Amino acid sequence: MSRIIAAGAIRGAYRFVEEAETAWQRINSSCNGSELIGFPNTAYYLPVIYGVMGHKVEQLNDMVAVLQRCRKLLPPLLADDMELNSLQPVLDAGIAALFAAEITEAIDYYENPQSYTGTETPAGDNLWLGAADDVILRKRGVEFVDGSVPGFAAILGAAPDKATATEITAELQQRNLYVFLSAGDKNQNFAQQLESTGHQLGWPTRLVPFGPGAAATVFTFGFATRVALSFGNVKPGNAKDLFAYTQERVPAFVMALGEVTDKWYALAAGALNFGFPVITDSKIPGLSAGDPPTELVVSNVPHDKIVSRSVDVRGIKTVITDVPVPVAYGPAFEGERVRGENIYLECGGGRTAMLEWVTSRPGEDIVDGKVSVIGPEITDTPPGSKLPLGIVVEVSGRQMQEDYEPILERQVHHLINYAQGVMHIGQRDMAWLRVSKDAVAKGFRLEHIGLLLHAKLHQDFGRIFEKLQVKLFTWETDVAELLHQAKAAYAARDARIEGMTDETTDIFYSCLLCQSFAPSHVCVISPERTGLCGSYNWMDCKASFEINPTGPNQPVTKGATIDARLGQWQGVNDFVFKASRGNIDHYNFYSIISDPMTACGCMECISAVVPLCNGVMTVNREHSGMTPSGMKFTTLAGTIGGGVTTPGFVGHSKYNMTQRKFLSAEGGLKRLVWMPKALKEEIADRFNERAAEIGIPDLLNRIADETVGVTEEDILEYLTENNHPALTLEPLI
């Protein structure tokens, strides 16, 4: 193998370890060793160390064993006349470097808590986000499992100039990859280059500035490790399984731009353990291994070829969609925000009336691809204007059904958001649109909303309709009349879906998207139990199957009823056993006590039994505080994720909490004794409807939240004072 790479990686690993030891000695001289230390809001401690060693670093003293392990892993420095015939010493040096980098960063968190924002986007003058917490991991994990994100790129260094940085970024974003940024080069770094050219950085735009130093690169490997632990049910300390998982299921690569230092060589060696190849513009030797040879380090790649070369080496399949709009287009732009002085046009959001409505029409009434703007166009208004807007999508086709209309309608939100410089929030008659001055300067018009909807809906859903046309209304009187018609259609749809029950439906649907991360997890979706992630209901899955009969949503014949109270059927059991490769032979839809459904890690909420209160608490993933279970959401998710059945705990969507079958085997809503205040407010309207149905219209007010307390003892007093029904039900356990 290349002696240059090996020698550099080993020297770099020594530097990382020496810096970690120095930092530990410095902080230990003024501490007693029991100080709590780690990365914020994660159940995975220092994740690379925890994933590889199985060692929990919770206190300063816990670092001693890791530093000792680092020293054992370090191979001897290479003398000039030494040859290295094995890759293993280099891989060991890489692991030592990553362990040491995590220790250095954890100590920095302790000594300088303001070094990183800990948020999803830069805050104030601080560009650097630091380690992603588990809320971000699970929120973004859904994008990896549903296929909208094919992988991620970890960029070290800086481009030779801002223009090159912008070009590389545009190609990465068009390929829908996340981009993790760290480790500057000669007082430059890629993140600052992008910020200076007006790019919005952060998790929403998939351009994530972890930190300016080389050690901050370890946050990339920590993210990959937590994917394996939380979604893949990999056991901490099983390094072999961890690296096999990341190699097979975490498509990622390292892109090194600029002079490759010894520390970078060491980080590259760490990346090779995870199965992540390194692609660089530097003129260093390449590296391949195996039979047939696998490219591990690819060097001297021109900047205009480096993205395509990188995805080819890693084997990442990306699709660049050609959409007829004058701005860049793709999921990477979905998280952009249009603010303040950059707003050219605003519609909806309480400023004006706005609606979106997909409706079926006879084929003779539709001209496929026709887009009509009925009223003022963007060019008819000055910057900063506000207009009412009605977006009406008319479809026809032999396979088209009324039940598909809301499926298509829900696509409008993200399809519009994929246009760079266009912000869209909400749906139906609660939508909100902003178009930036930059987008208008590039030629974007309201007409392009219709053109992109026609192109993308045909591409993604063309199997269920044949013709589609779009009308955009901007006259106030037209939008007011459309609102009246659309609201009637919304109400009719809701009544139709609400009228469906599990008893009157013989076919359920599977969702196996998450098996790309959690191989033994099988989600089966019924009319009264939506998918855990909140993204798929029964109608969505039905439409998905119509569109792609060989896709992840397959019909599941319910079969003979085994237990109507628990929600178990023979046909579902047979499917679950086969789809989980024999790991799971049954589960129950309606129970938290008796063999509840499996979870993969991307659930919106987790419910857990609260024994002292004879009830159940529910926490959503956005809530970062403690719960009466004694665990935060992140710890709970790490406990029940990975495709296992865990009695006393169950993952579910927010919407599922207001469906009639939610925990019905144990008493349903009457068992809910605690949930975060923000979640109560979010689901209040639908929850109160259900509570009124069961004769307890004020039930939501009787449920405790974090303002009451986060221990069983605290909330029991509140429940007693408010006569909560759970206290009179039969014992849960």
DSSP state of 603: -
Q: Distance between CA 370 and CA 358 in Å, rounded? A: 15
Query: Which amino acid does the sequence have at 317?
Result: K
- Residue 560's pLDDT is 96
Q: Which domains does the chain have, with CATH numbers?
A: 3-314 (3.40.50.2030), 331-492 (3.30.1650.10), 507-728 (3.40.1470.10)
681, with CB counted inside 10 A (0-12, 13-18, 19+), is: exposed
Distance between CA atoms of residues 613 and 26, nearest Å: 47
In this predicted model, what pLDDT tens digit does every residue of 488-540 receive, in sequence order?
998 888 777 778 899 999 999 998 877 766 778 889 999 999 988 887 788 88
3-state secondary structure 528-565: CECCCCCCCCHHHHHHHHHHCCCCCCCEEECCCEEECC
More confident site: 188 or 707:
707
Least confident of 222-231, 317-326, 688-697: 317-326
Q: Which two tokens stand for residue 618?
A: 């529910």
Which of residues 174 and 253 earns the better pLDDT score? 253
Q: What percent of the chain has pLDDT over 90?
A: 71
pLDDT at res. 548: 77
What is the pLDDT confidence band of residue 145, given thresholds at 50, 70 and 90? Answer: low
196-247 pLDDT per residue, tens: 998 999 998 999 999 999 999 999 999 999 988 888 878 999 999 999 999 9
SS3 state at 171 = helix
Say how far apart CA 245 and CA 725 lie, in whole Å: 46
pLDDT at 547: 78
Taking the model in full, what pTM does it have?
0.74
Taking the alpha carbons at both ends of the chain, their separation in whole angstroms is: 61
Quick one: which of 727, 733, 722, 716 has its CA closest to 628? 716
Identify the pLDDT of residue 269. 96
Token output for 300: 């001297």
Asked if residues 420 and 439 have their Cβ atoms less than 8 Å apart, the reply is yes
Residue 346, both tokens: 């605003």
Contact 176, 149 (CB under 8 A): yes
pLDDT above 80 (res 148): no
Side-chain half-sphere exposure of 669, counting CA atoms within 13 A: 27
- The stretches of 124-217 forming alpha helices (DSSP H) are 134-145, 162-174, 190-196
Residues 684-698, mean pLDDT to the nearest whole number: 95
Overall average pLDDT of the 461-482 stretch: 94
Class of residue 707 by CB neighbours under 10 A (exposed 0-12, middle 13-18, buried 19+): exposed
What pLDDT does residue 624 have? Answer: 86
Q: How far is CA 138 from the centre of its chain?
A: 5
pLDDT of the residue at 124: 84
With beta carbons less than 8 A apart as the criterion, state whether 588 and 665 touch.
yes
Q: Is the model's pLDDT at 80 over the cut of 70?
A: no
- Quick check: 68 pLDDT over 90? yes
Cβ atoms < 10 Å from Cβ of 448: 23
pLDDT of 478 > 90? The answer is yes
Q: How far apart are CA 347 and CA 327, in angstroms?
A: 20
The one-letter amino acid code at 341 reads E
Residue 310 has pLDDT above 80, yes or no: yes
Listed range (404-413, 426-435, 634-643, 678-687) with the worst mean pLDDT: 634-643
Encoded tokens for 98: 């990553």
Among 545, 526, 462, CA closest to 659:
526
Of the chain, the percentage scoring pLDDT greater than 70 comes to 98
